[in-house]
């Protein structure tokens, strides 16, 4: 049996998996994930979107979600739109992307929140609107991160917080995603220089442990891996940065490491083949598993190793089918994919959207 992966080598759209073949068109035949993502999006909007606030809301309060959740949801809506050709959510995408309160909140919060904003805005710029104001805003965030929050403490890296008290994985993984995508979009050498600088530091930081899982960050006293929790989103975002480095350089060493991290996640952070988040539930962690699936799909559709691509496709689909079968009334989804409960909110819902988008991507772009 021969596995064929449709070309994604020219891809420059981070988070949207080789969408150019599908942009603005409706496929003749739907694949698993399309119906499921649509149903999850409809339930998210019905239960938790506020036209007044131009944002998705917390479950039991008249209050918008934290900005980083909003930016992730925007990215999910853009990915769904470009993967399926279903343009019905363009009005919401435009409304959320231009929400001044959401923009202000992202920059005002921690550096990782600000970076989620940059990734979503760059995707919005490159795939939806082409308005240079969004590219300008992303570049301003890039300059803020490198100018105000990178220093030589612990050999380099960007701080997680404005108080400069902690250097961690997610903030630096997101920065790697931003600068690699900026280079792919603009071709400006400064972004590639910073991508290489960031990766050189991250690779040497020790945050990738001996199991090829990424721990949370660095110990302030020793500057070494602090051994804290290996959150699923830390395993995911690094896959995005490594995949972009491969697309830029064609150096397969980046895919080799990405495969090791992905394989270790699938082996060590699952129960009966279903992705499980370590630790106890909180508002942030509700988003994590979907983010991992988003970036695993991005790696899969850009794989040089066709066997690995199909392996990841099967893992993503197995999770998607299990979660869909266990959905709650009204197409709602819970935090615990492996053992669903009946407690729902917008963030849990959006994590499932990421999963179903990942199913669409691998099912359309990796054929057997």
Of 265-269, 272-276, 341-345, the least confident: 341-345
Q: Are 179 and 189 in contact (CB under 8 A)?
A: no
Q: Is 359 a residue whose pLDDT tops 80?
A: yes
Give, in order, the Cα–Cα distances in Å from 163 to each of 148, 153, 167.
11, 14, 11
**pLDDT tens-place string over residues 328-355:** 999 999 999 999 999 999 999 999 999 9
Q: Can you give the pLDDT at residue 6? A: 39
Of 1-5, 213-217, 227-231, 309-313, the least confident: 1-5
Across the chain, mean pLDDT equals 92
Output the pTM of the full model: 0.94
Look at 314 and 8; give whichever has higher pLDDT.
Answer: 314
Strand partners for 275: 270
Domain ranges (residues) in the chain: 4-367
Q: Can you give the pLDDT at residue 60? A: 65
Q: Is 244 a residue whose pLDDT tops 60?
A: yes
Q: Can you give the pLDDT at residue 22? A: 34
**pLDDT tens-place string over residues 103-148:** 888 777 789 999 999 999 999 999 999 999 999 999 999 999 999 9
Class of domain 4-367: mainly alpha
Give percent of the chain above pLDDT 70.
Answer: 92
Distance between CA atoms of 234 and 177, rounded to whole angstroms?
12
Strand partners for 4: 367
């Amino acid at each position: 049996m021969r596995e064929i992966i449709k070309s994604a080598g020219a891809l420059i759209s981070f988070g949207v998996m080789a969408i150019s073949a599908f942009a603005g068109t409706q496929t003749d035949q739907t694949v698993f994930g399309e119906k499921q993502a649509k149903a999850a999006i409809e339930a998210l909007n019905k239960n938790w979107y506020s036209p007044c606030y131009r944002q998705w809301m917390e479950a039991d309060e008249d209050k918008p979600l934290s900005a980083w959740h909003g930016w992730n949801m925007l990215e999910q809506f853009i990915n769904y739109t470009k993967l399926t050709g279903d343009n019905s959510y363009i009005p919401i995408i435009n409304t959320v992307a231009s929400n001044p309160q959401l923009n202000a909140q992202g920059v005002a919060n921690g550096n990782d929140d600000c970076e989620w904003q940059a990734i979503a805005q760059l995707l919005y710029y490159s795939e939806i609107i082409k308005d240079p104001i969004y590219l300008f805003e992303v570049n301003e965030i890039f300059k803020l991160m490198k100018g105000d929050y990178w220093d030589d403490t612990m050999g380099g890296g960007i701080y997680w917080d404005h108080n400069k008290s902690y250097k961690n994985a997610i903030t630096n993984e997101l920065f790697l995603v931003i600068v690699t995508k900026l280079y792919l979009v603009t071709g400006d050498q400064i972004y590639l220089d910073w991508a290489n600088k960031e990766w050189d530091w991250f690779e040497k930081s020790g945050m990738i442990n001996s199991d090829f899982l990424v721990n949370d960050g660095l110990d302030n006293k020793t500057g070494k891996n602090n051994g804290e929790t290996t959150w699923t989103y830390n395993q995911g975002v690094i896959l995005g940065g490594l995949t972009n480095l491969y697309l830029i350089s064609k150096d397969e060493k980046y895919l080799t490491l990405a495969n090791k991290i992905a394989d270790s996640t699938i082996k060590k952070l699952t129960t009966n083949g279903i992705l499980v988040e370590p630790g106890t539930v909180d508002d942030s962690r509700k988003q994590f598993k979907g983010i991992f699936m988003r970036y695993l799909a991005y790696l899969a559709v850009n794989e040089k190793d066709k066997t690995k691509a199909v392996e990841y496709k099967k893992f993503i689909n197995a999770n998607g089918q299990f979660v869909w079968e266990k959905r709650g009334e009204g197409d709602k989804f819970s935090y615990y994919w492996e053992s669903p409960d009946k407690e729902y909110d917008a963030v849990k819902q959006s994590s499932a959207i990421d999963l179903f988008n990942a199913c669409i991507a691998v099912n359309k772009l990796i054929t057997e």
